[in-house]
Chain A
Amino acid sequence: MKTPKIRFDKVTKRYGELTVLDSLDLDIAPGEVVAVIGPSGSGKTTVLRVLMTLERINEGVIWIDGEPMNRMRQGDALVPASQAHVRKLRSKIGMVFQSFNLFPHMTVLGNCIEAPIHSLGLPRAEAEARAEGLLAKVGLADKRNHYPSQLSGGQQQRVAIARALAMQPEILLFDEPTSALDPEMVGEVLEVIRELARTHSYTMLLVTHQMGFAREVADRVCFFEGGKFVEQGEPNAFFTQPQSPRAAQFLSKVLQAG
């Protein structure tokens, strides 16, 4: 088998007494689109945050392209990773937050060129050209000089996606990208993500409560609960015939509500 793009190897994350990730294993192949679903408060966000190195893990190793991320090789042993090592691997990952986290003091264009210039060292002109292409792609070319506070939630989230793409990551993480939005704006954001999944080879990890959307774009659905993936499978099979009672119970609740 090819090396997985992302591998969680017995990853454990605790907040004090609370074990949120319990010796978690997960392999994601290059280009695979994985949807993570599960009850809220179960730790789905935490899966993405430890991968983005926003949280330190207590045990285990996370591998990116066969390279350990929170550790690094020294001879045969794995030692704690240096800042430089983390930064190198982190550059392959982009993240879209539930609450956008746009920089409010910068224009839309400013948001999209900030990191390419100041983290990749791109010349300004090149960064702007890249950003304008991406803004056109998410349908916001005409908003380049607006501030985030002048945009609707859906537009802000599309800017956030363009900003993440501007770093040319190989892996994209989405943490409930539509759950802070008014219902009528959900569609425009999902459309952008759908387009990305269809026309690009990003490896995507998508936490969502939009079951229909997960079923449509994902290659695999993982049901997360109690610090583990209780069940994984091909979307159609998972949604029509969940194997575990917990997943079945969750699905019936969500589908009833929706």
Chain B
Amino acid sequence: MNTVRISALVGAIAFLVGLAFATFSELKVFLPALLKGLVVTLQVAGLSFVLFLFCSLLAALGRTSANLALRFAAGIYVEIFRGTSLLVQLFWLFFVLPEFGVVLTPMTAAVLGMGLNFGAYGAEVVRGAILSVPRGQTEACIALNMPEWKRLFRIVLPQAFAIMVPGMTNLTIELVKATAMVSAVTLVDITSAAVKQNLIHYRTVEIFLITMLLYYCLCQVVRYGSKLLEVRVSRYRGALN
């Protein structure tokens, strides 16, 4: 808990110092471009985060389902998206699909690619969490005659949720960092803006340090949010003290 606070604080202070440094020197010429890139990065990260959660849950339910066809389909999805690189998938969505008549906007391709890719990893986290809920919980539900879907949504998933938070947090941080690749589909995010500005101004150290600080702060915010969430969802555990 404490270390997260401190890290977030250190991150924020470092960012402010960087900002002041950039604003009060000649370097302010490239800052607006970087901040414009930051908006794109945040958009991609936010949208693909939602898709990532959705795909994770759906694929995990598929993989733990009693239905063989569903299990198989979910398994294929996970293997394909985990077996190939995100960058290859982004290229494929953006450059190959149009040759088969499906044209995606850069934003759609980026969000779709990142959401599907991280969803495949998330599916394994969610599945592990679902499987780690003790079997006795399901049996108690049967003994109480609860319908199957209520069993899942009221008993199993809420408990699995507390278990999956750390794993999903790590994936979210990976997702934030992976947004750096979206220039592959012609989006101008922070990374791409940084490269462009660097080609103009040749201020490698300043530009890239500020870029890295921005990512660092984003990651710390995710860590901090996840800690808050973790405290909330696992209140019931070891609540003796």
> Are chains A and B touching in the complex at the 8 Å CB cutoff?
yes
Q: Mark A109-126, 1 if CB is under 8 A from B, else 0.
A: 000001100110000000
Does A105 interact with chain B (Cβ within 8 Å)?
yes
Q: A101 CA to B158 CA in the complex, in Å?
A: 15
**Which residues in A have their C-beta under 8 angstroms from that of B142?**
52-54, 90
Q: A87 CA to B143 CA in the complex, in Å?
A: 10
Q: A93 CA to B143 CA in the complex, in Å?
A: 7
Other-chain contact of A103, B155, B162, B235, B239 (Cβ < 8 Å) = B155
Does A99 interact with chain B (Cβ within 8 Å)?
yes
**Which residues in A have their C-beta under 8 angstroms from that of B145?**
87, 90-91, 115, 119, 167
Chain A's nearest CB lies how many Å from the CB of B122? 21
Chain B's nearest CB lies how many Å from the CB of A245? 36
Q: Give the interface residue-count category, chain B.
A: 20 to 34
Does A95 interact with chain B (Cβ within 8 Å)?
yes
Q: A149 CA to B158 CA in the complex, in Å?
A: 16
Within 8 A of A (CB), among B132-171: 134, 136-137, 139-147, 150, 154-155, 158-159, 162
A119–B144 CB distance below 8 A: yes
A104–B236 CB distance below 8 A: yes
Q: A167 CA to B239 CA in the complex, in Å?
A: 28
A101–B136 CB distance below 8 A: yes
B144–A114 CB distance below 8 A: yes
Other-chain contact of B236, A53, A90, A93, A147 (Cβ < 8 Å) = A147
21 contacts between A and B (CB under 8 A): A52-B143, A54-B142, A94-B144, A95-B143, A99-B136, A101-B139, A103-B159, A104-B159, A104-B236, A105-B162, A114-B154, A115-B144, A118-B147, A119-B145, A147-B235, A147-B239, A149-B236, A149-B237, A164-B143, A167-B144, A167-B145
